[in-house]
Amino acid sequence: MSPHSTEPAGSASHHHVVVVGGGTAGISVAARLRRAGVGDIAVLDPSDTHWYQPLWTLVGGGQAPLETSRRSEASLIPDGVRWIRDAAVAVDPDARAVSVAGGGRIGYDYLVMAPGLQLDWDKVPGLAKAIGRDGVTSNYASEYAPYTWELIKGMRSGTAVFSHPATPLKCGGAPQKIAYLAADYWRKQGVLDAIRIVFVLPDPKLFKVPVWTKALEKVVERYGIEVRYESEVTAVDGAARELTVTDLKTGAEETLAYDMAHLVPPQSAPDWVKASPLAEGPYGFVKVDKHTLRSPDHPEIFALGDVANLPTSKTGAAVRKQSPVVVEHLVAAMKGAGAGARYDGYTSCPLVTARDKMLLAEFDYDLKPKSSFPLINTFKERRDMWVFKRYVLPVIYWRGMMSGRV
């Protein structure tokens, strides 16, 4: 293989396979396609930096430096793959072309949609203005995760609010994991009794799968966390250090004063994806068959990762199972053959419950546990699982997933 090459922004070109997005899903698919012997692949992504986002919870919890989650995008583009350093702004499936911000159009024979999702900070009044200051933070952006740790470290009394949006989101466990990391730190500092912790959750339960719900209820009880079920943070007043919590059942509003707030923004497909013929549903994610990840309307198009409209949690672990399915079906389509690979909805949520313990929740579309460690009881909090998340998973990601080996 020759090293990867770059294509100037705004140029017009045509490639056998165009992968939109150079994140977890895009790079893993491109790497697997090269390993399968597919040529003339282009990855379309403007970013110079590739982030391992699952580590940001630990960055916010003071357990990992931000730099360990960063690599240069150039270092991850597979050999023999062309990198188009531009942003997609539209897709025309009839013309089989993607329009880019630089003004050109990229033609394709096959298209893999993996641009991720967008954080809709402006959907909560006051949040965009307050984030990163006024005691408001979020581990969902690299620039704010270190601020989370500053706030946690500096807090000795008062009210801490943690929120979960009422939209699909990446890593559904992350909004509560940071609450547990903070609470355990405050416990170790001897100040937990002086801090009121409120977790605002749009769902009626802490987790989708009952066995882990029971375990998390014990964690919440241990730390004395007040959970506002079926509720959502709907407004933020950073200057006054107040936020509005709305009961989704009754519409009743409550004003909460806070000293720190870890708020997770609503999330949706990128605006250009929402406006495309590929989108479906209220959040504009790409319509695909949930088992083959192939568009039912345009069989030359596949989607995976956060942008795919699938009834499962949006995680990197899900991508690890989706990527080989996409590649098998795509390669078979090139040969005019069928493929038997099916994605069963597998996803994984490493639920950090303390500064040295974790629950590993793995399940499928039917919410049935799907353990990767049959000899280990992952229904209980474990230190070895925390070590696995902090030190083993990043290695698997950088060396295995991003090279198409895992």
How many other β-carbons are positioned within 10 Å of the β-carbon of residue 338? 8
Cα–chain center distance at 237: 27
Q: Which residues contact 233 (CB under 8 A, 6 or more apart)?
A: 124, 161, 163, 200, 243, 244, 245, 246, 261, 263
Nearest alpha-carbon partner for 172 in 216, 237, 115: 216
- Sort 132 into a burial class: Cβ within 10 Å, 0-12 / 13-18 / 19+: middle
The whole-angstrom separation of Cα 139 and Cα 52 is 12
CB 83 within 8 A of CB 42: yes
Catalytic residue positions, numbered: 171, 349
Torsion-angle region of 86 (φ positive above 0: left; ψ -120 to 50: alpha; else: beta)? beta
